[in-house]
Amino acid sequence: MVKKLGKLNIGKKLRNAKISVRVYLDNAATTPTDERVIKAMAPYFGKIYANPSALHAEGVAARAALSAAREKVARILQVRKEEIIFTSGGTESDNLAIQGVIRAARADGNKRPHIVTTAFEHSAVLETCKALEKEGVATTYIKPEKNGIVRPSDIKKAITKNTVLVSVMYAQSEIGTIQPIKEIARSIKEFKSARATTYNSFEPEGSQSQNGLQPTTYPLFHTDAAQAVNYLDICPNHLGVDLMTLAGSKIYGPKGSGILFVKHGTPILPVFYGGDQEGGLRPGTEPVYLAVGLAEALSIAAGMREKESKKLIGLRDYFITKLLSLSPRISLNGDVKWRVPNNVNICINGIDNEFFVIELDAKGIACATRSACKTNDEEGSHVILSLGKSKKEAKESIRFSLGRFTTKKEIDYTIGVIKNLLTTNN
């Protein structure tokens, strides 16, 4: 979103100009809340405010609204409403998916559970896996190719007889590359089919089933689809996933809202305890206003997906072309084609990305060096490093993420500012 740009002479040096413009190009971190979402939420702050678990009329009204929101989400995702778990956001959904599956596997007797994930997952996945490693859970981290895409064959090779979960992000949050989720799901299915043929003589290492789950139940497949919702097919049954993470803050919905899709029959246990809300997986009084807002945001995103994608692909490709033509110092991180429509991640040789982002901010442009959830790593972005690039390049990379309200005028303004900064900083 932007305040009045007015008539700008992009060719002039801008460092001494009085800047009243704000260009927001950090939509991958969080999006502004859509006014339609705010309107949908409004009644649930004051008029319909009761606890949905209460038996009185006010509670019944709140419960009806919560149920309607769940049904709305389920219709969009083409799943059962019982498979929708409302959470506080993507981080909680990732934690519940990973820790919940591990707990269920251990309860079933698997003493040495194994996870397969990638080296450039969101920190909500990576840090959860690292924490579980301290508890004896083995984790394999698959590196992507140089173009930022993981090969399904590498995932399949990493699966062992103790693997209980594969977790691969649908759209990479920093470089925007789209991962081959359907192909990975197919590889997992092939592994399960091969395992089924030897089931009678199969027994996982260190495992003795207590709950009657067959080894062919595993591995389960989880994807963090938070960055994909606005642009890609997110129907879990189309993708072939058992668990899927969504976040309201990425789709012009309310912050502090999220969803975990849990396919019917998926073995999963809660990670904290209290009431039996959300199928017993997410105890605590449900914030009805957040559920209503998230459902509305998801509905709007689904309705605008094709139109919005087409618009942003045009802006993205224009932006990339102009940037690469500015200087040989600029290169693109991630695949040119297989990336979400709103992502432009570049490396500018010779800059300090944090200082450059501050300079851009002074000129009215908001962007990022990396994921907003991981900003204290002195070595630079783990995502850029996972592509085989150097620590120097990791500290020279910047992410611009376009959004629903981004305009060509804003892109032209940004290009002009970058050109000026590169000229003055030589």
Structure tokens at 364: 């009215």
Name the token pair of 324.
Answer: 């690469």
Instruction: Output the CA–CA distances (angstroms, integers) from residue 349 to 14, 40, 53, 218, 288, in the order listed.
Output: 22, 46, 57, 45, 48
* 296: three-class secondary structure by DSSP: helix
Tally the residues of the chain. 426
- Strands (DSSP E) along 3-122, which ranges? 23-24, 84-87, 114-118
3-class DSSP assignment, residue 262: strand
Give the three-class secondary structure for 143. coil
3-state secondary structure of 318: helix
Backbone Cα Rg of the chain: 23
Report the alpha-carbon distance of residue 246 to residue 226 in Å, rounded. Answer: 5
User: Which has the closest alpha carbon to 90: 125, 119, 116?
Assistant: 125
Distances (CA, A) of 104 to 127, 319, 343: 20, 47, 37
Active site residue 235: no
The residues annotated with a catalytic role in the active site are 373
